[in-house]
Amino acid sequence: MEEKTKIKEFLCEIISLSGISGYETPVTNAIATTWEPLVDEVRVSKIGNLYGIKRGSPSKDGKTKRIMLAVHMDGIGMVVAKVSGELLYFAPIGGFDPRILPGQCVTIHSQKGEFPGVIVQLAPNLLSESYEGKPVPLDQLVIDTGLDEQTVKAIFQVGDIVSYANLPQELPSDCIAGHSLDNRASVAAVTQCLVELQHFHHQWDVYAVGTTQEETAFLGGATSPFDIQPDLAIAIDVTFAKGPGADGWRTVALESGVSIGYGANLHPMLFNEMKQLCEQLDIPYTLSPQPLMSGTDADPIQITGAGVPTILLSIPLRYMHTPVEIISIKDVMRTGHLMAEFIARLTPDFIEKIKWEDEQ
Amino acid sequence: MKNLLNTLTQTFGPSGYEKEIRNFIQKEIEPFVDEIHIDALGNLIARKGTQKQDGKRIMISAHMDELGVMASHIDKDGFVYIAFIGGINPLTCFGTRVKFMDGTEGVVYAETKKMNKIPDVTQLFVDVGASSKEDCPIKVGDVGVFVRPFLDLGNRVVSKALDDRIGCLITIETLKSIKDSPNELYFVFTVQEEVGVRGAVTSAYAIDPDMGIAVDVTISSDVPGGEQLNPVLGKGPCVKIKDSMLISHPKVIKTMTDAAERKGIPYQMEVLRYAGTDAGAIQFARSGVPSGCLSVACRYVHSPSEMVDWKDVENSIQLLTEILEKPVIL
Amino acid sequence: MNTKKDHLIHLPALTDEIIKLLENLSNTAGVSGNENAVRAIVRDEIIGFVDALHTDALGNLIALKKAKIENPLKVLIAAHMDEVGFMLVEKESDGIFRFKVIGGIDERALPGKPVQIGKNQKPGVIGACPVHLSTREERERILAVDSLRIDTGPGTSDIQPGEYGTFATKFMRMGPSICGKALDNRIGVATLIQLIKYCPESIELIAAFTVQEEIGLRGAKVVAFHYEPDVAFVIDCTPANDQPAWDESENTRYKTKLNQGPAIYTSDGRTMYDYRLIRYLTSICEDYAIPYQIRQPGPGGTDAGAIHLSKSGIPTAAISVPGRYAHTAAMIVRIADWEKHFQLMTAALAHIHADVLKADR
């Protein structure tokens, strides 16, 4: 099977699994299974970060440098907040625009198993005000499971996790639509990098890290570098693709390749290295300015321990934080390929050779 | 005649449930017509005479139905929430009384704490004296009408349902008084006018008339702070020029005004910015029917106390008789 | 009425096979004006059971079943095939289309939904601005349909303006319920297909699978005019807003309730229903111990609005399956309500007789 098709199938598999921030286990397990044959060791940290460790060839002095590829596995979701009659009220986990919610199919993860439900808005007379011509606020939207009151009371309780249930859709030109592509698309890119590294000689140890709770607290991004103490880190996330409802300087075109971040949060020289590598390899790329924080795992990674030189690579994605995000598999493959090429070029003295502009 | 009007206004017949009022009218007119039948929607259709040379088939329509209420929910304490049958201003409902088909009577009031300036119909309820859902005699879907007795003020009369029992009275008296006519006359007492002129749709299709005239009430503007319209009480029957559903056929208007001129009957011209009558439906039957409307000026339309001028009523009967007894040129 | 206890017929059950048929109907696209795919399924299902089958000028599919007696009662049963949806109206850029809504869809139900476009149900989505790029004020306004686009992905070559779309929801079971798009009124369609198979020999059945109900009861109007039935029954779906209110005060405006059986109409925005037929239906329910409910009078309408005013008038009743969230991506219906509805209609057909209409209207 073509590598692209394999990655597409893997991506469709992991976006069909639940992995709400704090409850990443189902998706962690699926990623671990795929990474296992590609790495030397797979480990899960105390708070759920997934480490896939692929050792580089040892250098003369026996010391090995480490690069960390940080990719958050978690996605946004909901949690049951109140049971009223046969209805479930819910609270968001992660950032939501409530206007996209009415009519969404969801899965409720109860202790009695998984049950389907639909997010709905009630008739105007059942709300605190009629909200005619206005969005119904999130705290008044409800989930209907189709079950009767008695069954609902027996099955569900406050605290049950709710995830989107819509299935992936394949669009023309190798595009995929679905929920949680933020950030499973990046997980797929890292996986592609590991696949390509099977054929590359590399000297650095590679720590592929699936982080947890990026959407809510950057928990995995802050804790995993403490464990690993990397010499260099790449955070891989998604960025806003231009499209209906999204325009302006924060957006790039879908299918335009890897987007490389620059700004205080990212290492300027590593940014240059990455850009030059794209030019050299003829990999399409765009630049993504991050004047303040990048809002990704790169934020906490950079300031862990004595500080970590950090790079941000992003994959363009339309309709972020809706259940119908769209990405291009081409961009996923390009990102994976770029990282593999970068890693293969890392020499033991790579970090020492990096000079700041004023040092040159 | 006022006695007859009294009975007409006090007989039960909200839209869709016109059986009682129809039975009464049928008995009243049967001796004076040649043929009578009831169609699938409940319209009462009476034919008088046959078409002679110079004659036309003419449909005269007065609607029998009245405004009413329908039970939509019985709450745990036995209050009956309602939907309106027809266009009713909720402000006219406070403290008014309704009577359901089974005879149960009750008082209308509203959820005063919840309502804004004007209550919504969904905030209105009827208190029939029940104290729980179980002892409430009313079920969802039961219909009722407003309770308000007939009041004779001499020159003026007041009642609920003068819209359009006054049209029924005029039509009944006209068909009684007509002796001879070249025209084949179909007197139709229609149903469901108040919910969208529906009875006139099917009866006009069946009759396929050459001309249609509705007899109904119109808004009288001679009240403090009232509408800026032409018709007033006492200045004669109104010849409708337009309302929101109908632009009267010019030949029908001329037929009506010519008849009034011939007989020296006072009349007024009526232009109504909104609303509609059976004529709005009749004109659409099959390939189209020239139509018009003879209106009676009425105060407080669609409230439980509507008022008309008695002289206008007598003149309307005279005018309608004159129109129908003579050949019509279209 | 011939419903003495010893004449009661055996009531059929709602089998898995029928639910499977509904699944197929629900997953099929048939937006008002483009009911072809639904009509094809119906035709295949009924062709062996009817005496004549006709598709008229608007696309209504009418099946006739003759009686075995002289001068039989002509009974029309109408169920609309069409559903609410979209039409692509302009190609804006590669794979991005402007669209218009067909039928009564609340704009608030649109953003963030998977959709399917055209005859081959090609995938697409209605996207929405990322929450990160919008302000709080913006989020307090509706995402109006004019600001939304259907996105079928870059490189789309075989989708053109003019094609129809629907929500992409797939039919599913949820315990005692079923959930899917277009259950309004594919449930009625599935029921009418069964009724054809159970039709008694004492009546002439005109089974009409109508079009364009959602855009103004247009299909039913021409069917009633052409076939001139003696009596008509409309089967459809109706909202059940019986959930608890936000403040848990008594809900007085629920229209219908789930689990209370089929909903019989007395009055809606388009029709005052014939109460001889209402009485007939409720007496059938009582004889067969079928639970039923009266739909709360109020706005809304069914094909009856067009049928009962046809020519010189047609006595008409409407019986709906109560359901929640019609005209959104996912409607929920209790299977038990549907089964009772199916049984009521079967019994009502078995016993219908001209005498029912002899009483004064």
Please tell me whether residues A141 and A193 are part of one structural domain: no
In angstroms, rounded to a whole number, what is the distance separating the alpha carbons of residues C212 and C81? 8
Work out the burial of residue B6: count CB atoms within 10 Å of its CB; fewer than 13 is exposed, 13-18 middle, 19 or more buried.
Answer: middle
Determine the distance in angstroms separating the CA of C114 from the nearest CA of chain B, rounded to an integer: 36
Q: Choose between B120 and A209: higher pLDDT.
A: A209
Taken in order C262, C267, C268, C274, the sign of the CA dihedral is: positive
Among candidates B330, B106, C247, C94, which has minimal Cα distance to A318?
A: C94
Contact A145 C174 (CB under 8 A): yes
Q: The domain containing residue A156 runs over which residues?
A: 77-164
- Closest by Cβ to C130, choosing from A128, A254, A319: A319
Please tell me whether residues B90 and B175 are part of one structural domain: no
Strand partners, B247: B242
Contact A135 C111 (CB under 8 A): no
Domain boundary among A164, A197, A212: A164
Three-class secondary structure of residue B26 per DSSP: helix
CB pairs under 8 A between A and C: 218
Name the domain count of chain A: 2
For residue A228, tell me if it sits in a domain: yes
Please tell me whether residues B169 and B283 are part of one structural domain: yes
What pLDDT, in 10s, does the model give residues B91-101? 999 999 999 99
Contact C114 A172 (CB under 8 A): no
**The CATH number of the domain where B138 resides is what?**
2.40.30.40
For residue A171, tell me if it sits in a domain: no
- Closest by Cβ to A320, choosing from C130, C151, C324: C130
Domain boundary among B120, B147, B174: B147
For residue B154, tell me if it sits in a domain: no
For residue A358, tell me if it sits in a domain: no
Please tell me whether residues A123 and A222 are part of one structural domain: no
DSSP symbol at A24: -
β-pair type (A105-110, A113-120):
antiparallel
In angstroms, rounded to a whole number, what is the distance separating the alpha carbons of residues B219 and B228? 10
In angstroms, rounded to a whole number, what is the distance separating the alpha carbons of residues C111 and C127? 6
Please tell me whether residues A198 and A71 are part of one structural domain: yes
Name the domain count of chain B: 2
Please say if the pLDDT value at position B228 is more than 90.
no
For residue B153, tell me if it sits in a domain: no
For residue B50, tell me if it sits in a domain: yes
Please tell me whether residues A213 and A311 are part of one structural domain: yes
**The CATH number of the domain where A279 resides is what?**
3.40.630.10
Selected residue of C272, C307, C357 to mutate for chain B interface (largest B Cβ count, 10 A): C272
In angstroms, rounded to a whole number, what is the distance separating the alpha carbons of residues C316 and C267? 12
Please tell me whether residues B273 and B136 are part of one structural domain: no
Going from the C-alpha of A310 to that of each of A299, A345, B126, the distances in angstroms are 9, 17, 73
DSSP symbol at A241: B
In angstroms, rounded to a whole number, what is the distance separating the alpha carbons of residues C199 and A171? 46
For residue B152, tell me if it sits in a domain: no
Please tell me whether residues A44 and A119 are part of one structural domain: no
Contact C312 B203 (CB under 8 A): yes
The number of angstroms, rounded, from the C-alpha of A230 to the middle of its chain's C-alpha atoms is: 20
Please tell me whether residues A108 and A55 are part of one structural domain: no
Please tell me whether residues A68 and A115 are part of one structural domain: no
In angstroms, rounded to a whole number, what is the distance separating the alpha carbons of residues A202 and A57? 6
Three-class secondary structure of residue B96 per DSSP: coil
Please tell me whether residues A98 and A65 are part of one structural domain: no
What pLDDT, in 10s, does the model give residues A4-38? 999 999 999 999 999 999 999 999 999 999 999 99
Please say if the pLDDT value at position B226 is more than 80.
yes
For residue A355, tell me if it sits in a domain: no
Please tell me whether residues B218 and B104 are part of one structural domain: no
Domain boundary among A137, A164, A191: A164
- Closest by Cβ to A175, choosing from C140, C154, C243: C154
Please tell me whether residues B43 and B76 are part of one structural domain: no
Please tell me whether residues B287 and B222 are part of one structural domain: yes
* Per-residue pLDDT, A261: 94
* pLDDT band for position A358 (cuts 50, 70, 90): confident
Please tell me whether residues B222 and B91 are part of one structural domain: no
In angstroms, rounded to a whole number, what is the distance separating the alpha carbons of residues B214 and B208? 15
Among candidates B119, B311, B303, which has minimal Cα distance to B226?
A: B303
In chain A, the residue whose alpha carbon lies closest to the alpha carbon of C253 is A125
Contact B202 C270 (CB under 8 A): no
Please tell me whether residues A22 and A88 are part of one structural domain: no
Q: The domain containing residue B102 runs over which residues?
A: 68-147
* Per-residue pLDDT, A47: 87
Strand partners, C324: C332
In angstroms, rounded to a whole number, what is the distance separating the alpha carbons of residues A43 and A27? 14
For residue B330, tell me if it sits in a domain: no
C115-C116-C117-C120 Cα dihedral, nearest 10 degrees: 180
In angstroms, rounded to a whole number, what is the distance separating the alpha carbons of residues B306 and B68? 15
Domain boundary among A164, A195, A224: A164
Provide the residue type at C79 as one letter: A
CB A254 within 8 A of CB C156: no
- Closest by Cβ to A87, choosing from C168, C241, C243: C243
Selected residue of C131, C135, C142, C149 to mutate for chain A interface (largest A Cβ count, 10 A): C131
For residue A170, tell me if it sits in a domain: no
Domain boundary among B118, B147, B176: B147
In angstroms, rounded to a whole number, what is the distance separating the alpha carbons of residues B162 and B155? 15
Please tell me whether residues B57 and B84 are part of one structural domain: no
Among candidates A189, A184, A187, A224, which has minimal Cα distance to A207?
A: A224
Contact C147 A245 (CB under 8 A): yes
Selected residue of C121, C126, C129 to mutate for chain A interface (largest A Cβ count, 10 A): C129
Please tell me whether residues B134 and B238 are part of one structural domain: no
* Per-residue pLDDT, C359: 85
What's the rounded mean pLDDT across residues A190-216? Answer: 96
Taken in order C33, C37, C38, C44, the sign of the CA dihedral is: positive
pTM metric for this prediction: 0.87
Contact B19 C360 (CB under 8 A): yes
Determine the distance in angstroms separating the CA of A228 from the nearest CA of chain C, rounded to an integer: 31
Going from the C-alpha of B264 to that of each of B258, B313, C175, the distances in angstroms are 10, 15, 78
For residue B132, tell me if it sits in a domain: yes
**The CATH number of the domain where A123 resides is what?**
2.40.30.40
**Residues of B with CB below 8 A from C297's CB?**
70-72, 83, 85, 141
Active site members of B: 193
Please tell me whether residues A251 and A131 are part of one structural domain: no
Q: Which two tokens stand for residue C165?
A: 């779309």
CB C312 within 8 A of CB C320: no
Please tell me whether residues A201 and A333 are part of one structural domain: yes
CB B145 within 8 A of CB B98: yes
**The CATH number of the domain where B230 resides is what?**
3.40.630.10
Q: Which two tokens stand for residue A211?
A: 């982080």
**Residues of B with CB below 8 A from C281's CB?**
none
- Closest by Cβ to C153, choosing from A84, A104, A326: A326
Contact C314 B76 (CB under 8 A): no
Please tell me whether residues B62 and B131 are part of one structural domain: no
Asked if the peptide bond before residue A183 counts as cis, ω within 30 degrees of 0, the response is yes
Question: Predicted ipTM?
Answer: 0.83
Q: What residues have CB less than 8 Å from C151, skipping those under 6 apart?
A: A177, A243, A244, A318, A319, A326, C95, C96, C97, C124, C125, C126, C127
Please tell me whether residues A65 and A83 are part of one structural domain: no
* Per-residue pLDDT, B112: 85
Among candidates C356, C284, C318, which has minimal Cα distance to C3?
A: C284
Please say if the pLDDT value at position A40 is more than 80.
yes
**Considering all CA atoms of chain A, what is the largest pairwise distance in Å, rounded to the nearest integer?**
76
A181-A182-A187-A193 Cα dihedral, nearest 10 degrees: 90
Q: Count CB neighbours of A219 within 10 A.
A: 22
pLDDT by residue for chain C (361 residues), tens only, comes to 555 556 899 999 999 999 999 999 999 999 999 999 999 999 999 999 999 999 998 999 999 999 999 999 999 999 999 999 999 999 999 999 999 999 999 999 999 999 999 999 999 999 999 999 999 999 999 999 999 999 999 999 899 998 999 999 999 999 999 999 999 999 999 999 999 998 999 999 999 999 999 999 999 999 999 999 999 999 999 999 999 998 888 999 999 999 999 999 999 999 999 999 999 999 999 999 999 999 999 999 999 999 999 999 999 999 999 999 999 999 999 999 999 999 999 999 999 999 999 988 8
Question: Which chains sit next to C, with 3 or more Cβ pairs under 8 A?
Answer: A, B
DSSP symbol at A58: P
Contact A126 C243 (CB under 8 A): yes
Please say if the pLDDT value at position A2 is more than 90.
no
Sheet hosting strand C177-180, strand order edge to edge: C172-174, C177-180, C331-334
What domains sit in chain C, N to C, each tagged with a CATH number?
A: 5-83+181-357 (3.40.630.10), 85-167 (2.40.30.40)
